Amino acid sequence: MHLRLILCLSAALSGAALRGQTPASQSLPTRKEKVVVTGTFEPLPLGEADRSVNAYEVPARVLLFGSFADVLNLDSSVDLQQRAPGVQGDISIRGGTFGQTLVLVNGMRVNDAQSAHHNFDVPAPLDAISRMEILRGSGSTLYGSDAVAGVVNVITRVDPDTELRFRSGIGNFGTNTQGGFLSLHWGALSQQLSFERELSTGFQDDRDYRNLAGSYQAELKSGLGVTNVFLSGLDRPFGADQFYGNFNSWERTKTWFASLQQDLGENTNFAFSYRRHTDLYVLLRDNPSFYTNRHEDTAWNAALRRHDRVAKLATLSYGAEGLADGVNSTNLGIHHRQRGAAYANLDIRALGRFSISAGAREEVYNSGQTVFAPSVSGGYWLSSQIKVRAAASRAYRLPNFTDLYYSDPATLGNPFLKPEQATSYEGGVDFHANPRLRLAATIFRRNDRNDIDYVRSSPDELWRAMNFTHLQFTGVELIAEARLAHSQQVSVQYTGLRGVKGEAANFESRYLFNYPSEQAIVSWQILTHSGILARTQVGVTNRYNRKAYALWGADIAWTRWRVRPYLQLTNLTNTNYQEIVNVAMPGRSFLMGLELCVICKSGAQ
């Protein structure tokens, strides 16, 4: 039924896109092909990618988004299992666990070595983000551990215009927000500074929170190439009632992130990043002395990447990486580990119709243990409008320190856990009917071995970490995107997923089987000639063995003048829902405010 509905909507979009064409005086400019860098060894136009990749632009819609989580919610294959909007949540793609999704900032890892629960702590204000790219499926050949089910790459913003903006807003649940963005240019040097703050007393007891984030980015162009420096920080204290069990907990996380990217000529790039994360966890907020944990983890990542044209139609990309992370914790103890990896990939593109890419990665960890991650993908244009594609790959995830060593009154880690491994296959077809309409369909399958989850046989037992020998996930993704007359954009996405438990059926699972068996998203956006920017979105989620629920949101902003009012409305139907079992989410809410454009972009008032 859901599938038929999506197909009907797609057909309607196709007709609307064709009927919506207007005379030249009213028509939209031809859309430039989006360029993606996630899941590819070199930047490619989106239509040339042989993997299922989506790119979502942020700057034009920054007044319509409350947080970067709202951007992820545009994708039906991404499941955000939030404990509170914009505070803490788990990111899942194609039914994988939150630990099987790799999060990057400008291609550099920000996954947390202590616990993947903190991967949501992306240290970048929304104003600092240019776009978010989502690779649906394995990315271990290029990115290494954790890229089992998918990759989220946050691309920060290098703005060509001088700009200065401030905004402030208020909402229900005692919410107030402030933010700002400054962009400056001196010749070959571009600099951006951004900050955001959000405070809420919470929609119920012990669900208050405060977010404070700031970032600085500088980009310098020289004869050697581009030098890019990104510095950022994030501070999040929040009430954590029921987050990890039947406790009125409290938690505070802090993140510091620094990265350097340096071109060494046209074909070589060096990158380095450092991340420090702290986590103060209080089990009982009204009795901190009963149980309190303090964790500090650090990680650094250095990469040298190069690509060479080895033939007229072939490009060889290769590189090496060094990674190290460690944790100093009152609960986990002190642990360190180092990893080294090398990879290579050959990409062949011929006659404007055919492409194939084959690569492999070898990673060494824990003083001699190795893991091998090959991949192959290809595409063929049957015509100027229709492309078929396919991919196969292997991926892996090393257990994090919480998986291995954590213990509390409800949970026990396992120091003997094995690394997870997965083999993924996918095939799809893309239909570019015209510059205004894109349709895509993908069928995928992932066979997992040694997946890590916390399980128990009865509610009286502790949650214990263990490996499952075999799990299997099969699914389908459908996308229809149309650009209509008068700057309207419509998107319809559907993802259906089926998991086979195997031996996991004998246990109660904490994380693995909270995935959506079906998820559909319909969104519409318009920018009028008078500068009114508005969007609305309806999402339907049907989780495994749970009741389906729908969420409806709407946002509107006036972007034409220096003073720009905006209004964000979420959960308009006041739906009672939980993305994580026993963790309630807020009902109907609003945020309204003003943005002041002190120095506007060129051409803007």
Here the tokens at position 340 are 């080294």
Average pLDDT over residues 523-529: 94
User: What is the length of the chain?
Assistant: 605
Q: Tell me how far apart the alpha carbons of residues 349 and 586 are, in angstroms, rounded to a whole number.
A: 50
| Residue at token pair 């066979």 | 447
Instruction: Say which DSSP state 66 is in.
Output: S
Strand intervals (E) in 12-126 = 35-36, 44-45, 52-57, 78-84, 88-93, 101-105, 108-109
Q: Tell me how far apart the alpha carbons of residues 154 and 131 are, in angstroms, rounded to a whole number.
A: 6
Average pLDDT over residues 538-547: 92
Cβ distance 322 to 338 under 8 Å?
yes
Q: Tell me how far apart the alpha carbons of residues 580 and 85 are, in angstroms, rounded to a whole number.
A: 12
Does residue 560 or residue 399 have the better pLDDT? 399
Residue 7 sits at φ, ψ, to 5 deg, of -65, -40
Quickly count: other Cβ atoms within 10 Å of residue 179's Cβ: 21
Indicate the average pLDDT of the chain. Answer: 89
Q: Residue 553: what pLDDT? A: 96
Left, alpha or beta for 202 (phi > 0: left; psi -120 to 50: alpha)? left
pLDDT of 260 higher than 50? yes
Cβ distance 86 to 211 under 8 Å?
yes
Does residue 280 or residue 485 have the better pLDDT? 280
Angle among Cα 28, 32, 36 to the nearest 5 degrees reads 140
pLDDT one-digit tens code per residue, 445-474: 999 999 999 988 888 888 899 998 888 999
Q: Residue 504: what pLDDT? A: 62
- The fraction of the chain above a pLDDT of 90, given in percent, is 72
Class assignment of domain 2-154+217-519? mainly beta
Q: Tell me how far apart the alpha carbons of residues 282 and 274 are, in angstroms, rounded to a whole number.
A: 27
Here the tokens at position 191 are 């600099």
Look at 5-14, 100-109, 271-280, 340-349 and tell me which has the smallest mean pLDDT: 5-14
Burial 67-86 (b: 16+ CB within 10 A, else e): bbbbbbbbbbbbbbbbbbbb
Task: Please report which confidence band the pLDDT of residue 102 belongs to, taking 50, 70 and 90 as the band edges.
Answer: very high
Instruction: Say which DSSP state 264 is in.
Output: -
Cβ distance 471 to 499 under 8 Å?
yes
What's the Cα-to-Cα distance from 364 to each of 6, 115, 121, 248, 340, rounded to whole Å?
A: 45, 21, 27, 42, 5
Picking from 264, 189, 197, the residue whose alpha carbon sits closest to that of residue 229 is 189
Q: Tell me how far apart the alpha carbons of residues 274 and 252 are, in angstroms, rounded to a whole number.
A: 20
Domain coordinates of the chain in residue numbers?
2-154+217-519
Task: Please report which confidence band the pLDDT of residue 604 belongs to, taking 50, 70 and 90 as the band edges.
Answer: low
pLDDT one-digit tens code per residue, 389-404: 999 999 999 999 999 9
| Residue at token pair 């454009």 | 597
Q: Residue 460: what pLDDT? A: 84
pLDDT of 534 higher than 60? yes
Three-class SS of residue 507? coil
pLDDT of 293 higher than 50? yes
Q: Residue 30: what pLDDT? A: 35
pLDDT one-digit tens code per residue, 6-38: 334 344 333 444 344 333 333 323 334 677 888
Instruction: Say which DSSP state 384 is in.
Output: S
pLDDT one-digit tens code per residue, 218-237: 999 998 899 999 999 999 99
Q: Tell me how far apart the alpha carbons of residues 522 and 75 are, in angstroms, rounded to a whole number.
A: 10
Task: Please report which confidence band the pLDDT of residue 287 belongs to, taking 50, 70 and 90 as the band edges.
Answer: very high
Cβ distance 304 to 313 under 8 Å?
no
Picking from 457, 451, 453, 459, the residue whose alpha carbon sits closest to that of residue 410 is 459
Q: Residue 244: what pLDDT? A: 81
The pTM score is 0.91
Helix %, strand %, coil % of the chain (to 5): 10, 60, 30
Beta bridge partners of 449: 421
pLDDT one-digit tens code per residue, 506-521: 778 888 888 999 999 9
